[in-house]
Amino acid sequence: MRQRPRGRLTLAFVKASPESQLRLLELADLDTELGRLDHRRRSLPETAELAQLTERAAKVRDAITIADTNLADLDRELARAEKDVEQVRVRIEKDNQRLDAGQVSNARELESLQNEVTSLRRRQGDLEEIVLELMERREQAQAMRDGAATEGGTVGAEEAAATSRRDAAVAEIEEQAAKATAARAAIVADVPADLLALYDKIRSSVGGVGAAALRRGQCGGCREMLSTVELNEVRAAAPDEVVRHEECRRILVRTPDSGV
């Protein structure tokens, strides 16, 4: 778009009726609305909440894996210890049977067998202690496993609730965005192509909106007050001139309360 610089304002090559220029303000309002909706969608609190919950869920899964490994280890140790107890018990039983049956008559052999039974009973007691201790540790590990599973359930429920809240918010935003987009399309159909092209070009380069109202000497786009020189230039410009604010590059749309 060719431009003729004139002081601190620019007159665009494009010319458009005041009515068409005023329609740009409606377009700008809708673009502001669409920008606001897009920002809302990207900064929904539920998104941050869900990220935290995902982190918590991962921790819970890790805790469950650790607890399961612990339980498996303890189960193995417990099985081994119980087997040891059983072996000792069987051996004591056999020794006792031999003693009871009176098979051992040799005094020294008898004493040795009785000593063995005594030492085996001690060993059985020790092993049973180990079994009890392992059972206690297993109980604790199971409690931790249960706690993690409960936490997992809580996190899952919170995730489901946050997801449904997020989805509802997104649906509401999308509904409003669809309305604004439809309204924008209707206005676009009404704005001359060259003016629209200029508006869109400015919008993509400065961001936000491509046009703003001039009200009481202030640019609605960048909020800067126009100087007396600038206001005089606006006053001198024909109604179909498209005036641009040098400060923010936006199209300045004259309104009844522009202050010129």
- The answer to whether the CB of 209 falls within 8 A of the CB of 219 is no
Q: Decide whether 134 or 221 has the Cβ nearer to Zn ion.
A: 221
Cα 213 versus chain centre, distance: 38
Does 234 bind Zn ion (CB under 5 A)? Our answer is no
CB of 26 to Zn ion, least distance (A): 18
77, 200, 246, 247: which one binds Zn ion (CB under 5 A): 247
Q: Decide whether 131 or 222 has the Cβ nearer to Zn ion.
A: 222
Q: Decide whether 113 or 222 has the Cβ nearer to Zn ion.
A: 222
CB of 245 to Zn ion, least distance (A): 4
Interacting span for Zn ion (CB under 5 A) from 6-14, 92-100, 128-136, 246-254: 246-254
| Binding residues among 190-219 for Zn ion as defined by CB under 5 A | 219
Q: Decide whether 105 or 204 has the Cβ nearer to Zn ion.
A: 204
Does 159 bind Zn ion (CB under 5 A)? Our answer is no
Does 141 bind Zn ion (CB under 5 A)? Our answer is no
222, 231, 237, 260: which one binds Zn ion (CB under 5 A): 222
In angstroms, the Cα distances linking 256 to 18, 142, 214, 227 are 11, 77, 9, 19
Does 9 bind Zn ion (CB under 5 A)? Our answer is no
CB of 17 to Zn ion, least distance (A): 22
* Binding-site ranges for Zn ion (CB under 5 A): 219, 221-222, 245, 247-248
